[in-house]
Amino acid sequence: MDTVKLYLRSMKMLLRSQMQYPASFLMQTLAQLVMEGGEFLAVILIVDRFESLNQWTAGNLFFFFGLMSVTFYLTECFGRGVTGAFPGMVRSGQLDTLLLRPRGVLTQVLCSAIDPRRITCIAVGVAALVIGCQMSPVHWTLLKALAFAESVLFGCMMLLGLFLIESVLCIHSVKSVELVNALTYGGRSACQYPIDIFPRPLRALFTMVAPFALVLHVPAAYILDKPLYGWPGFAAFLCPLSGAAVFGVMYLVFQRAMRFYRSTGS
């Protein structure tokens, strides 16, 4: 509880720091809106052309897009320390400063950055979700709401876990992050569409390695009243837990890696 309080206080302070430069913030936020709006437009154009993809209707596709956007950008907004700021912290020596304080390193890394510009991306995602629910249409029940919450929560954890791979490589002073980006940003671009439209190797990648399909698509199928890839209904509640597993494993790897941390010159 104490840690949550610390996180919230840190976020408040970081927000106030960002608001010291309002013009810059406004422009960057708008730039984000154009970027994510463009992505959404691409989905709209596809829907316009094909009306449906495999078994998925236009509304379903909007729902998938929205779910991915909300999850991904929530992670980038509130997990900025892991998703973007970490390499800089290693290079500038800020990580040293964190090690000098009586708190967990990962807690402090998460407490030291926020990216409020993503708020527009999240808004686009929410809009897509609302449109998707209207068009599909989705008949909400308590269980569906639970599946949805689970999906977003564990989706964020899975993404944090995947971004942690980059941090771990960074501690070992390996600078090539392209491979990791293929999983994170690549995963986002691919899995904003339902997994079953992809060929087998990609399906395997996004189920076994980076389980976007398990965390986001299985519950989405449940919410949209579609067959769960041949699995029973409770799979919609179990599969998202794989996101927590990814995070857990990467958390342990991260802790181990910190032992090899070698700091930078004074």
Residue ranges that bind other proteins, judged by CB under 8 A: 2, 5-6, 9-10, 13, 16-18, 20, 93-94, 96-97, 99-104, 108, 259, 261-263, 265-266
Q: Which is nearer to other proteins, 100 or 142 (CB)?
A: 100
Nearest approach in angstroms of CB 97 to other proteins is 5
One-letter-per-residue 3-state SS of the chain: CHHHHHHHHHHHHHHHHHCCCHHHHHHHHHHHHHHHHHHHHHHHHHHHHHCEECCEEHHHHHHHHHHHHHHHHHHHHHCHHHHHHHHHHHHHCHHHHHHCCCCCHHHHHHHCCCCHHHHHHHHHHHHHHHHHHHHCCCCCCHHHHHHHHHHHHHHHHHHHHHHHHHHHHHHCCCCCCHHHHHHHHHHHHHCCCCHHHCCHHHHHHHHHHCCHHHHHHHHHHHHCCCCECCECCCHHHHCCHHHHHHHHHHHHHHHHHHCCCCCCCC
Nearest approach in angstroms of CB 1 to other proteins is 12
Nearest approach in angstroms of CB 175 to other proteins is 12
Nearest approach in angstroms of CB 169 to other proteins is 16
Nearest approach in angstroms of CB 177 to other proteins is 19
Q: Which is nearer to other proteins, 99 or 208 (CB)?
A: 99
Q: Which is nearer to other proteins, 11 or 220 (CB)?
A: 11
Q: Which is nearer to other proteins, 185 or 260 (CB)?
A: 260
Q: Which is nearer to other proteins, 140 or 260 (CB)?
A: 260
